[in-house]
Structure 1
């Protein structure tokens, strides 16, 4: 978890986050609870008690905020969980069908029916739930948007704009997963792109598009 005080970090000019230009009244975004300036896309988490960069939501399942620094791992967590539930569901489904279509008299086999019913039902429900959440966040990643921004568009100088930080699908996925596509599906840290495109709107790129897409 990172506080908003990271904005004092010294970095190349194209990596410095804009905190002065944007916001509700095109001015400084200030958090009265943290008593500090908030960069674009930073929001205060009432549960963690601090401002979080690219705040998506506070997830009770991982007991942490889903944000700029761990969004890749959250997506992989959803993907891994979805695939695991599918694997268990389809592995047990043939046995489930057999147990409930044939009359087994043995007591231990009758007890297994309940176990299989529970396992198939639970993994099926979790697979459906995780699939909706996983593919929804893949969509948000493709648009470089957070859950908060999907309900309330960022308000910049020109007004509300849901695509304010959209650099294109390829660049948006690189911002989350890194440049090396071989590491996309592994829970390892990858280099943050331009520290990052997630926090820079396309119109902020100085020196042309290449300045924000090294």
Structure 2
């Protein structure tokens, strides 16, 4: 995780230096006042993206309460599934059960993790990359090396949003100036043109410094365009799931327990709160002034949810 964060911060610093040193110092075609305004807007968006990134990577998942941890010797017994069911009924755990096929027939069993030796709360999944069970796990993001979960979901969405806005803003600001500076490239190759076209006269001397700056800014603008489009598409997919109060894992898989060859019936749980507004506010909170700021507004502990259970048979 640390080296992921290091490379992301390094990338943002390079983008900032490229924008301020190459574009603003050498290519920006407008006045000083416009330059200051552009830099202020760029810095605000840049800071919001960086803060969202730090919040995403530094906020760790909540620990699973001890009430979900059965005695470890249960997992060592031959019929440990029945023992888990018996123990879960005694302590009355608030989890949805799945129907699992065993040697003695089908049995209702709460989802459990053989690695962490815990009963998994609703919407909890084990992440093999992080080597732990994650409460309300959305997905493991290999790009930042972190799991997206209950308490950093908002910050991850904000990171994608502000990074996409930063890319779009950079493209919007630099493109007009790049069009004006394309003449530098033309002048630089004017010697070759005069050799092909008789009578061609070079009207302006080539500027190597501005040529290098123009090429750097052009490559940065192309990179920003590609990254902005990719981030926007990814953000749109995650927002589509959020507005249904559904995680990425819930939209693609079903929670199960046991081996991959077991056949069982599981509950396809819908955690839709009844409206897009409520689903959105479950992560971003009810204060619109804080929606776009990297400030914790998610309510709940990730253990209890309002749900509408719809049973569906799934073959594994």
TM over 0.5: yes
Distance 2:168 2:227 in 1: 9
Aligned length: 194
Distance 1:66 1:112 in 2: 38
174-183 or 22-31, which deviates more: 22-31
TM alignment of 1:95-114, pairs within 5 A = 95-101=177-183, 103-104=186-187, 105-114=206-215
1:50 maps to what in 2?
132
Q: CA separation of 1:115/1:160 partners in 2, compared to 1, >3 Å: closer, same or farther?
A: same
Q: CA separation of 1:52/1:65 partners in 2, compared to 1, >3 Å: closer, same or farther?
A: same
> Which deviations, in whole Å up to 9, do the C-alpha atoms of 1:24-55 show, x marking residues without a partner?
54521110000011011100010110000111
Structure 1 residue 171, shift from structure 2 partner:
1.3
TM alignment of 1:101-180, pairs within 5 A = 101=183, 103-104=186-187, 105-153=206-254, 159=266, 161=268, 164-167=270-273, 168-180=275-287
2:36 maps to what in 1?
none
Gaps of 5+ in 1: 10-15, 204-214
Q: CA separation of 1:180/1:6 partners in 2, compared to 1, >3 Å: closer, same or farther?
A: farther
> Which deviations, in whole Å up to 9, do the C-alpha atoms of 1:191-213 show, x marking residues without a partner?
514x459733146xxxxxxxxxx
Q: CA separation of 1:152/1:99 partners in 2, compared to 1, >3 Å: closer, same or farther?
A: same
1:185 maps to what in 2?
292
Q: Secondary structure at the match of 1:5?
A: coil
Structure 1 residue 97, shift from structure 2 partner:
1.6
Gaps of 5+ in 2: 1-59, 69-91, 101-107, 188-205, 257-263, 310-316
Query: TM-score, normalized by length of structure 1?
Result: 0.79
Distance 1:133 1:24 in 2: 34
> Which deviations, in whole Å up to 9, do the C-alpha atoms of 1:126-159 show, x marking residues without a partner?
000000011111111101111111212457x985
1:18 maps to what in 2?
94
1:65 maps to what in 2?
147
1:93 maps to what in 2?
175
Distance 1:170 1:154 in 2: 26
Distance 1:22 1:200 in 2: 16
Q: Secondary structure at the match of 1:58?
A: strand
Structure 1 residue 186, shift from structure 2 partner:
0.9
Query: TM-score, normalized by length of structure 2?
Result: 0.55
* CA RMSD between the two structures: 2.8
Q: CA separation of 1:146/1:17 partners in 2, compared to 1, >3 Å: closer, same or farther?
A: farther
1:199 maps to what in 2?
305
